[in-house]
Chains A and B, each alone.
Chain A
Amino acid sequence: AQRVTQPEKLLSVFKGAPVELKCNYSYSGSPELFWYVQYSRQRLQLLLRHISRESIKGFTADLNKGETSFHLKKPFAQEEDSAMYYCALSGWEGGSEKLVFGKGTKLTVNP
């Protein structure tokens, strides 16, 4: 079964500090991994996906198949990065391809 684990419910850092939001997954096939973000009073939106290998708002995430991880990193956190972050996996299960989400990590960047 597909499963996504985000071990930290809350993460607090100071502005300018590096930040890493952890994500581990379980999937027997070849996964597609995503990070979604929800800023205060806004809807959930895609931040980045592993196949794009791009950096969005200074965030990067590398898929590590050996460790089954897809951690989200940013070298210098900004206050506007404060939000809920959800890691998600897209894979086949139950006859269709679907997204499975982790429980989310609330990131707070303090001034």
Chain B
Amino acid sequence: NAGVMQNPRHLVRRRGQEARLRCSPMKGHSHVYWYRQLPEEGLKFMVYLQKENIIDESGMPKERFSAEFPKEGPSILRIQQVVRGDSAAYFCASSRDRAANEQFFGPGTRLTVL
């Protein structure tokens, strides 16, 4: 089992461009979580998805951010019209079922907005 995969590991965008971050959960895991980590901060919950469903997006900014977890393929975190404040490390985690069970983390994608 390769573990949670994230790509790209590093992403550089100019202001106004779109960023797409991908996450493939561990085999057999149907729950995916996205977190954002700003410098000197802990991980902040963004969104919780199951296949084809957004369960909780209370941590997502209201505009420009969206997430999906289609029936086939990886989960995608999409940031439109990026701004410098979006520069951060974005982590994906997956679990077999409920959140209280162990979450397995990916290596993260470091987004830099120029």
Contact B42 A32 (CB under 8 A): no
- Indicate if B63 sits at the interface (CB-CB under 8 A): no
Contacts A43-B106, A43-B107, A86-B43; A98 near B56 (Cβ below 8 A): yes
Given that A44-B91, A86-B42, A94-B56 are known contacts, is A99 also in contact with B105, CB under 8 Å in the complex? no
A95 to B40, CA, bound (A): 28
Nearest residue, chain A, Cβ from B44: A101
Q: Residue of B at shortest CB range from A103?
A: B42
Instruction: Verify A102–B105 contact, CB threshold 8 A.
Output: no
Shortest beta-carbon distance from A54 to chain B in Å: 13
> Which residues of A25-47 have CB atoms within 8 Å of chain B's CB atoms?
32, 36, 43-46
Q: List A contacts of B48 (CB < 8 A).
A: 96, 98
Chain A residues with Cβ below 8 Å from B108 are 43
Distance, CA A94 to CA B54, complexed state (A):
13
Which among A45, A95, A98 has the greatest number of chain B C-beta atoms within 10 A?
A98
Interface of A is mostly: strand
Residue A67 interfacial (CB < 8 Å)? no
Contact-residue size bin, chain A (C-beta under 8 Å from the other chain): 20 to 34
CB of A80 within 8 A of chain B?
no
Q: Is B71 an interface residue (CB 8 A)?
A: no
Interface: A69 (CB within 8 A): no
List which B45-91 residues lie within 8 A (CB) of chain A. 45, 48, 55-56, 58-59, 91
The answer to whether B99 and A90 have CB atoms under 8 Å apart is: yes
B58 contacts A94, C-beta separation under 8 Å: yes
CB distance from B30 to the nearest CB of A (A): 14
The 3 A-B residue pairs with the shortest CB-CB distance in the complex, in nearest-first order = A96-B56, A94-B58, A101-B42
Q: Which residues of A contact B (CB under 8 A)?
A: 4, 6, 9, 32, 36, 43-46, 49, 86, 90, 93-104
Chain B interfacial positions (CB closer than 8 Å to A):
3-4, 33, 35, 40-45, 48, 55-56, 58-59, 91, 93, 98-100, 102-108
Q: Can you offer 12 A-B residue contacts whose CB atoms are under 8 A?
A: A6-B42, A9-B40, A43-B105, A44-B93, A45-B104, A86-B42, A86-B43, A94-B56, A95-B56, A96-B58, A101-B42, A101-B44
